[in-house]
Amino acid sequence: MNLTKVAASLALASLAAASASAFAQVKVGVVSSATGPTALVGIPQKNTVPLLPKKIGDLTVEYIALDDASDPTESVKAVKKLISEEKVDAIIGPSGSPNAMGVIQFVADAGVPMLAPVGTAAVVLPMTDQKKWVFKTTQNDDIIAKALVDYMAKHNVKTLGLIGTADPYGENWAKVMAGLTDKAGIKIVASEKFNRSDNSVTGQALKIIAAKPDAVLVTAPGGPSVLPETTLYDLGYKGHMYQTHGAALPGFLKLGGKKVEGTVLAASLMLVLGEIPDSNPSKKVASEYIAAYEKLNGEKPATFGANVYDAGLLLEKAIPLAEKKGKPGTPEFRAALRDALEQTHELVGTQGVYNMSPTDHSGFDDRGREMITVKDGTWRLLK
């Protein structure tokens, strides 16, 4: 009796498996930090998953979303699960820079292309045999940094103070800025580090003020970018304040209030969409995304969500090309998908235009990043 039951259920299971593979289906894993310290970044990304394309050509796409609780160890577990159990064809995520750095070797070993919506360029630079499986859907730090340094040079900034988080984001920015400021003749007179969880940065701020820089750049992702700036303001620092695209979220304005008035940052055009001319190709894509997201979630998305949306656009373009080389679920398909992603040409995303190449897996150029300032408590385009 028991044996027949087992046999019957086995037969049923194999039947189900057979019928599932009859519909050609692409499986995409999404890993986001919807809980834990990076939740600010991860939640809009998770909420974007329902907006990703469900049908590409004649293939249906299934998304399997997992939460890594902002923990790099959990990210590795989630990615391994997606690869070995779900046999996904591509992975979107994880949300955090340290999390993404930790999973690169596993996706490379399994040969699964990964679209990482993270800030740090270290996931695709310098290009290695492992990193060729990774594509990054955000602007590289150096594109943003170059815009900032150009602006600083134009506005007579000669000495600069840096304060950043003690994580890959802050470290990479310190490295990028050191190279760029050198060329522009700007001297970095103080470079300080703080932790996201710090409840005071007075010590670091005093050290920066003691060095008397013309301007200070805060390099921190998300909410922590506010504290150094308000502390400097409270201590009476009068120089110019700069922020990276890490500060480009509504919470920055809310937490900073009038103390962050006049801050200059380079970031995605999504912040000032209304002021962008219609000729910019990304305006239409970004408006569509924002409208769809708002309809679904009842609030405007942070730019982090758009990075996941862009990953969907990239896949939409690459999957039909890959389908010609192999069936979804096979190593051939995944390798072809990787090649197809690498050949992405002039694809308009929410934050700019992608032109991938074997050496550039981020593919952004100057289009899509704008100089923005804070005026009367809102983002305004700097002209």
Partner 1 sequence: MNLQIAMLLGQDGMTNGAIYALLALSILLVFTVTRVLFIPQGEFVAFGALTMATLQAGHAPALVWLLALLAVIATIADLLAGRRDTGRYRFGTGQALRLGYPFVLIGLIQVLPLESLPMALQAALTLALVVPLGPLCYRLFYQPIANAPVLILLIVSVALHVAMVGVGLLIFGPEGARTQPFGEGGLELGPITLNAQTLWVLTASLALIVALYLFFERTLYGKALRATAVNRVGARLMGISPVFAGKASFFLAALIGALSGILIAPITTIYFDSGFIISLKGFVGSIIGGLASYPVAALGALLVGLIEAFSAFFASTYKEVIVFTLIIPFLLWRSLTSRHVEEEE
Judged by the rule CB under 8 A, the positions of this chain that interact with partner 1 are: 35-37, 39-40, 42-43, 166, 192-195, 197-204, 206-207, 210, 223-224, 226-227, 234-235, 251, 254-255
Closest approach, Cβ 43 to partner 1, in A, equals 6
Closest approach, Cβ 294 to partner 1, in A, equals 17
Contact assessment for residue 54 and residue 60, using Cβ atoms and an 8 Å cutoff: yes
Complex with partner 1: residue 43 or 215, whichever CB lies closer? 43
Which amino acid belongs to residue 275? E
Q: In degrees to the nearest 10, what's the CA dihedral of 252, 256, 259, 262?
A: 10
The residue among 80, 102, 258, 91 whose CA lies nearest residue 167 is: 102
Q: In degrees to the nearest 10, what's the CA dihedral of 191, 268, 322, 51?
A: 120
Determine which helix (DSSP H) or strand (DSSP E) holds 376, and give its type and residue range.
Answer: none
Complex with partner 1: residue 166 or 381, whichever CB lies closer? 166
Closest approach, Cβ 239 to partner 1, in A, equals 18
Complex with partner 1: residue 72 or 223, whichever CB lies closer? 223
Complex with partner 1: residue 202 or 330, whichever CB lies closer? 202
Q: In the structure encoding, which two tokens stand for residue 323, read together? A: 């389908």
Closest approach, Cβ 167 to partner 1, in A, equals 11
Q: What is the DSSP string of 92-118?
A: E--SSHHHHHHHHHHHHHHT--EEE--
Complex with partner 1: residue 189 or 206, whichever CB lies closer? 206
User: ω into residue 281 within 30 of 0, thus cis?
Assistant: no
Residues 6+ apart with CB under 8 A from 274: none
Complex with partner 1: residue 27 or 196, whichever CB lies closer? 196
Quote the distance between the C-alpha of residue 165 and its chain's center.
17
Closest approach, Cβ 44 to partner 1, in A, equals 10
Closest approach, Cβ 337 to partner 1, in A, equals 32
